[in-house]
A and B are shown apart, each in its own frame.
Chain A
Amino acid sequence: MNLFIRGGRVVDPGQNIDEILDIRIENGVITETGKNLEPLSGSEVIDAAGKYAVPGLIDMHVHLRDPGFEYKEDIITGSLAAARGGFTSVACMPNTNPVIDNKAVAGYITNKAKSHGFCNVYPVGCITHGMGGERLSEMGELKEAGCVAVSDDGKPVKNAELMRRALEYAKGIGIPVIAHSEDISLVGEGVMNEGFTSTEIGLKGIPRVAEEIAVARDVMLAEYTQSPIHIAHLSTGGGVRIIREAKARGVKVTAETAPHYFILTDDAVRGYNTNAKMNPPLREACDVEAVREGLRDGTIDCIATDHAPHHLDEKDIEFDAALNGIIGLESSLPLSLALVDDGILTFNQLIEKMSCNPARILGLDRGTLKRGAIADITLIDTLAEWVFETGQLASKSMNSPFFGCKMKGAAFATILGGRVVYRIDRLAGK
């Protein structure tokens, strides 16, 4: 099955391309990109006039909840949500049940995604055995089984010596470490950012320094061991500053943030809105500004979603009891495109942060439209205007603070290995 994308504005940061071109795809591979090409006979042709054609978007931080919590999400619904959001690849975190600390669980995920999924699903294995924070996981076997990184996401590695050894060991194996940097003792019983809002509405606070201390520790360990480290879901101004300084010193640190950290403040929690409860928590305006500046100056390499589906029963309860996290796959693209409208990023830089950089950090052979590359392509309609509503979700869960928001920009089509897995104009009523 061959595909031909006609007349899209092709933006491929890796090749410095930004012009209106045609793309020819044969057997799932990009065979030619150029002006006024002709489709091979029998090709499916997509008219991409007025749309952008970019390397398939990659979300390096999602929770697909499969195995173990399929009532929240599974690999099929999660990967469909990804495809609808314009993502062709996701990396899924290991806090499943059982956790991803062995070949069998990693294999289950990759197999299920290959046979039933709508995007590439790359498992992230645990840093520690059983995510218990006590001894190293079998990272060699995890890598063999398809894991593209290791992380104890959601449960930071408390023991600094263990984190040091993890960085050293992972470097030897050649698998990146993703740090959930948070000092649990400073989090305490906190349920939202510590600041004026928490004071006024009487919720227990989580201070910024809980993140900043842990980012500093993890960056210093990476520097000492000369190992790469990737900092997940950066939310604080201090965290951005520490990473900026480390990068200037030549530390091999990369970082991601999520749309809610560059859009929302802890004001969103007012009214005890459990859909604004996440970890790290939404911070204050100065942090939002710092995160945006970090995106602008390149301190922050990636935009991930931290897609964290939870069942209504886990959110429609008292604030303290509600679980942390929001879904993000189906809202990330328009929310991130707003950074281009706001002049924070160029469109080219946005694609770097949503495709090229995650591919580079995870060592994926994707994130490019080069000749011979796997044809993972996202067509983006930057002008589409729509409202984010619960009714249209592919995800099983409905935990988002963005429902009811007007969105601008959408995935027009998502192409996975030359196969169209999603097209907006084939939706009923669209």
Chain B
Amino acid sequence: MPEFKHKDIIALRDLTRGDMELLLKTAESMREINSREIKKVPTLRGKTIINLFYESSTRTRTSFEIAGKRLSADTVNITPSSSSATKGETLADTALNLLAMKPDIIVMRHSVSGSHYFLSKKLPNCSIINAGDGTHEHPSQGLLDMLTIRDHFGRLDSLKVAIIGDITHSRVARSNIQGLTKMGSEVFLAGPPTMMPPGAAKLGNVTVCKNIKEAIADADVVMMLRIQQERQGKTLMPNAREYSRYFGLNPENLKLARPGAMVMHPGPINRGVEMSSYVVDGAQSHILRQVENGVAVRMSMLYHVCGGEIE
């Protein structure tokens, strides 16, 4: 079995195709555990995992917590409202204090891109897993999306994947672009030009499309991104109504995709904005499969950064 040589998982940009294949393969075997009646194995017994969430999150934090618990690790959650962040303690000091309690893994979400690299340098003996950093990457989301796509198509190469929305501010888009293009698929981006970062086409095997129709046409996968009124509201778009008319996914424009194309969304969904409810709840939606795979993928990530040792 190939080895996973990384102490941390911060960005899919840092991983090879082989690394990602290993993580996905392990995730598949983890999924078997999740379907048992007793959903717990002793793999990480005695390991301590701290979930340090500087940004609010329900899905990702819960998913990491369940993943750790199913592997028998001790998991502790720290969120900003109850943490030292409000007392003016620096990230480095918080981390060093936590380190003094000897955790094996810190799973962090932080609003500043690259803060995990900073943390990793400060904590050479602790594994760092990125649960989302600013507008940089969200590797566990990228991996769970890839697992969901592979479940459906049996492969991750030679697929046409459309990613639609605010590419500039999306860490989900960056992780998926890195992962999917390394696996041999082609990514088509669309969104208002106000949300398309310069040089996006140079991120890999990526095409920037003029409109959503061009991106969806013959796509195997249509991945919609969350539009956040609080972030994009002021100058990047007129309002949700216009956004949904020109950049939203609905049963009509979904017909442009390949028959049976997958519809995905990292959540939480703004129904009626980036996606119509008919699509969210429709037959082509894989959104809840994504969530389900999230636990397995995160179990795999925790397992591999711990050296992949099975007791």
Interface residues of A (CB under 8 A from B): 194-196, 198-205, 271-272, 313, 316-321
Contacts and interface: CB of A to CB of B under 8 A. Distances in A.
A319 B114 contact: yes
Nearest to A204: B135
B197 A198 contact: yes
Contacts of A205: 197-198
B56 to A, nearest CB: 18
A325 to B, nearest CB: 19
Given A202-B134, A202-B137, A318 B198 contact: no
A199 B199 CA distance: 7
B171 to A, nearest CB: 6
Interface in B167-183: 168, 171, 174
A272 B115 CA distance: 8
Given A201-B136, A318-B110, 8 more contacts: A196-B198, A196-B199, A199-B199, A201-B114, A202-B174, A272-B118, A316-B92, A320-B111
A195 B202 CA distance: 11
Nearest to A194: B198
Contacts of A317: 90-92, 118
Given A205-B198, A317-B90, A271 B133 contact: no
A198 to B, nearest CB: 7
B117 to A, nearest CB: 6
Interface of B: 13, 90-92, 110-115, 117-118, 133-137, 168, 171, 174, 197-200, 202-203
B117 A195 contact: no
B200 A202 contact: no
Contacts of B13: 200
A193 to B, nearest CB: 10
26 contacts: A195-B199, A196-B198, A199-B197, A199-B199, A199-B200, A201-B136, A202-B133, A202-B135, A203-B113, A203-B114, A205-B197, A205-B198, A271-B117, A272-B113, A272-B115, A272-B117, A316-B92, A317-B90, A317-B91, A318-B110, A318-B112, A319-B112, A319-B114, A319-B118, A320-B113, A321-B112
A202 B171 contact: yes
A202 B110 CA distance: 13
Nearest to B203: A200
A203 B135 contact: yes
Contacts of B90: 313, 317
Nearest to A274: B118
A90 B171 CA distance: 44
